Amino acid sequence: MTQLNTPYPSTAYLTGFLRAQGEDAVQTDLALALVLALLSPDGLTRVRAQASALPQARRSASVHCFLDQFDDYHATVGPTIAFLQGRDSTLSHRIAGRGFLPEGPRFAALDVYGDAEAADPLAWAFGALGQQDRAKHLATLYLNDLADVLRDAIDPRFEFVRYGESLAGSQPSFEPLAQALAAAPNLMDNVLADLTLQAVAEHQPQLLLLSVPFPGAMYGALRIAQTVRMHHPQIRIALGGGYVNTELRELSDPRLFDFVDFITLDAGERPLLALLEHVRGKRSQSRLVRTFVRDSTHGAVKYCNWTEPDVPFEDVGTPTWDGLPLKNYLSLLDMLNPMHRMWSDGRWNKLTVAQGCYWKKCSFCDVSLDYISRYETASAATLVDRMEAIVAETGQTGFHFVDEAAPPKMLKALAQEILRRKLQVSWWGNIRFEKSFTPELAELLAQSGCIAMSGGLEVASDRLLELMKKGVSVAQVARVTKGFSDAGILVHAYLMYGFPSQTVQDTVDALEYVRQLFEAGCIQSGFFHRFTCTVHSPVGKDPAAYGITLATLPPVTFAKNDIGFTDPTGVDHDLLGRGLKKAIYNFMHGLALENDVRSWFDLPKGACPKPTVGRKRIAQALAERGA
């Protein structure tokens, strides 16, 4: 359960790599299949049966609306899914007219965009001709209403992206997952089981690999494994992916191996080659690479890590999306912001410019882990070869580079190679807003097809940026982002609050800087994340250097990542966070940019300090750049 608009890239990478090694590897996306099975006429009929059985007192507003308008939902869900898949664009006329789709509680959000009494509250966003996007936004609200019904009537843990996340994320014990997996299966579990058995019957695998990039994918992965174990016990099952690499490094609970046979860490290519040899009897268990197993004699968890070099990034091969139903993914439009929509709208080919991070100093980041600490690049020629092969396979020319921070030197070489070959592509990615990204480089990237960039401004405070070892200043970020914006490249800023020693004054000043960045046209989108201390970051490894005390963790036998801490500042960051998120939501829609930023914070009178940042500080920084 990651995204509905495009496949998560891990299976495409590994399928391409394994096929290059001569292996008969196939891939399937059961998360997408589950959603499409539920959001269908037959699926909604099954949902209604369960929702109708709920006592009146337990029916949410979403469930009541669904049952009251069931005939309309049943009639419209198939055409709406087809529209979001790009198979029926003319339906936009009816959807945009607001008379086709039943409207549940999610449609109340339309009132926040402007005058709720206006004849067309979306006119400011879409005008007279933005009909496709208007319809896509309304259809997305419709799907979100149905997701709320699935959550309220079938499984309270359900979300499109984070299904059962709390069962796995930083859970020191496997017990919550064990209890959930031992419970009687609900409707979604049964549908997923049916889809699993269909996939196994079609492909007849000997080895099943389950990729778990986030905690919200773990419950579904283990339900798949549980089904395969029950019906096809001869199939060997391996688990890997981002969540496993980050959180299960201290795994010692053997119960996880009731569901899977192997758990691999970090880059998957070398462990899989060793695992294939082991399954075929050509390599002993002790010579597995970065792999957890359950000892057959004592039943304890055993970590096997035979030392072998990783496959160089230059040699991992070209990802392939063969076998994934690219025409079935859903292009959504949940927020009316041109940059924010990139994550949910469009079918992007996901690719990596470099392995790891070239900076790897940020104190909040998991810099000790392989996916960040091991930095390798491939040549620009190799990268563009991969892009050309992917375009030829998928017919899609859009690329999302999913690096931790794409290096400017490599991006420059990549852009030059794209232009040399006259390859027509659109691409975007994640960077550090460092001074190497000059206006001239931004222009070059735009010419090669760059349409958007995201990067970390984090706390928007020079003192805290230095403490974070971010290697940038607020003024520098302003100049770099303005260069991108002037080149026609959309910019999204990752923002953070609650970092150790951050005061109320720091937070107010940060929001003032962010307001000015929007006002000056430096950024078009942003999001405030609450700082989380992780055990693999410099803050987690040396909390005293940041003036905090870590909470005492219970005994960890399963997942370990986030860790609580005590900050002597005693600031109520949850309270401040609500104001930050409300403010940036409005800023992204071009609203209230002239307001005093203190008005966003629900603090007692006199408790919210005046910003120490001049209201034209960003404009001054940009003028200094011009001088």
Closest Cα to residue 139, out of 69, 61, 64, 78? 78
* Integer Cα distance of 43 and 473 in angstroms: 52
Confidence at 30, pLDDT banded by 50, 70, 90: very high
Cα–Cα dist 80/530, whole Å: 35
Confidence of residue 604 (pLDDT cuts 50, 70, 90): confident
Q: Residue 264: beta bridge partners?
A: 291
Task: Give domain status of residue 204, yes or no.
Answer: yes
Residues 6+ apart with CB under 8 A from 611: 508, 509, 511, 512, 597, 598
Same structural domain for residues 305 and 417?
no
Q: Model-level pTM? A: 0.93
Dist CA 79 CA 38 (whole Å): 14
> Do 401 and 505 have their domain in common?
yes
Q: Give the torsion sign (CA, 453, 456, 461, 467).
A: negative
285 domain-assigned = yes
Q: Which residues pair with 492 in a beta bridge?
A: 454, 525
The answer on 544 and 474 residing in a single domain is yes
Q: Which two tokens stand for residue 545?
A: 């250097």
Q: How far is CA 404 from CA 315, 401, 454, 584, in A?
A: 20, 9, 11, 23
266 band by pLDDT with thresholds 50, 70 and 90:
very high
CATH number at residue 576: 3.80.30.20
The pLDDT assigned to 113 comes to 56
Asked if residue 539 is part of any domain, the answer here is yes
Q: How many CB atoms lie within 10 A of CB 125?
A: 17
CA distance 604 to 593: 23
597: left (phi over 0), alpha (psi -120 to 50) or beta: alpha
**Residue 83 contacts residue 166 (beta carbons within 8 Å):** no
Nearest to 515 by CA among 433, 611, 437: 611
Q: Give the total number of structural domains in the chain.
A: 3
Say which range, 109-118, 270-279, 515-524, 558-567, has the weakest mean pLDDT.
109-118
Mean pLDDT across 417-435: 97
Position 369 scores a pLDDT of 93
Last-in-domain residue among 130, 153, 176: 153
329-342 pLDDT, tens digit per residue, is 999 998 877 888 88
Give the per-residue pLDDT at 112. Answer: 60
Indicate the average pLDDT of the chain.
94
Q: Do residues 453 and 411 lie in contact, with contact meaning Cβ atoms separated by under 8 Å?
A: no
Q: What is the C-alpha to C-alpha distance for residues 468 and 586, in angstroms, rounded to an integer?
A: 28
Using the predicted structure, report yes or no on whether residue 115 has a pLDDT greater than 90. Answer: no
pLDDT at 118: 58
CA separation for the pair 197, 433 (Å, rounded):
47
- Helical (H) or strand (E) element with 450: strand 450-458
Amino acid in the structure at residue 452: A
For residue 492, the Cα-to-chain-centroid distance in whole angstroms is 14
Residues 161, 199 contacting (CB under 8 angstroms)? no
Q: Is residue 10 part of a domain?
A: no
pLDDT at 532: 95
Output helix, strand, coil percentages for the chain, rounded to the nearest 5: 50, 10, 40
What is residue 117's predicted lDDT score, i.e. its pLDDT?
55
Q: Return the pLDDT at 128.
A: 61
Give the pLDDT score at 161: 82
Q: Which of 95, 123, 153 is the last residue of a domain?
A: 153
Q: How many CB atoms lie within 10 A of CB 399?
A: 23
Other residues' Cβ atoms within 10 Å of the Cβ of residue 5:
19
- Claim to verify: residue 251 and residue 346 sit in the same structural domain: no
Q: How confident is the model at residue 552 (pLDDT cuts 50, 70, 90)?
A: very high
Cα–Cα distance for residue pair 267/282, rounded to 1 Å: 22
Measured distance CA(277)–CA(262) in Å, rounded: 13
**pLDDT for residue 249:** 97
* DSSP for residue 232: -
Residue 5 resides in a domain: no
Is 506 found in the same domain as 537?
yes
> Coil, strand or helix: which one is 566?
strand
From the number of C-beta atoms within 10 Å of its C-beta (0-12, 13-18, 19+), residue 186 rates as middle
Establish if 452 belongs to a structural domain: yes
3 state SS of 438:
coil
Measured between alpha carbons, how far is residue 55 from residues 52, 59, 101 in Å?
8, 7, 27
User: Does residue 160 fall inside a structural domain?
Assistant: no
Please state the rounded mean pLDDT for residues 179-207.
97
Tell me, yes or no, whether 261 and 379 share the same domain. no
Query: pLDDT tens-digit profile of 408-419?
Result: 999 999 999 999
Pairing of strands 398-401, 426-431: parallel
334-338, 437-441, 463-467 — which is least confidently predicted?
A: 334-338
Using CA atoms in the order 93, 97, 103, 108, what is the torsion angle rounded to 10 degrees? 120
Give the model's pLDDT for residue 627: 46
511, 581: one domain: yes
User: Which structure tokens are listed for 572?
Assistant: 């109520």
Q: How many CA atoms lie within 13 A of 512 on its CB side?
A: 21
Q: What are the residue ranges of helices labelled H in 248-325?
A: 269-279
The whole-angstrom separation of Cα 271 and Cα 288 is 7
Q: Which two tokens stand for residue 2?
A: 């990651």
Decide if 320 is inside a domain. no
272 and 173 within one domain: yes
pLDDT at 122: 73
Q: Are residues 460 and 342 in the same domain?
A: yes
Which of the listed residues 122, 153, 184 is the one where a domain comes to its end? 153
Whether residue 479 is found in the same domain as residue 369: yes
450 with 598, same domain?
yes
Identify which of 39-43, 354-358, 618-622 has the greatest average pLDDT.
39-43
Q: What percent of the chain has pLDDT over 70?
A: 97
C-alpha 299/C-alpha 287 separation (Å) is 19
CA distance 586 to 63: 30
CATH of the domain at 273: 3.40.50
Is the pLDDT at 571 greater than 90? The verdict is yes
Is residue 546 predicted with pLDDT exceeding 50? yes
Determine the pLDDT at residue 1: 76
Q: Are residues 76 and 184 in the same domain?
A: no
- Please state whether beta strands 398-401 and 450-458 pair in parallel, antiparallel, or not at all (unpaired): unpaired
With b for 16 or more beta-carbon neighbours within 10 A and e for fewer, the 68-77 pattern comes to ebbeebbebb
Parent domain of 71: 39-153
Indicate if the pLDDT at residue 136 is higher than 50.
Answer: yes
**Residue 3 pLDDT > 90:** no
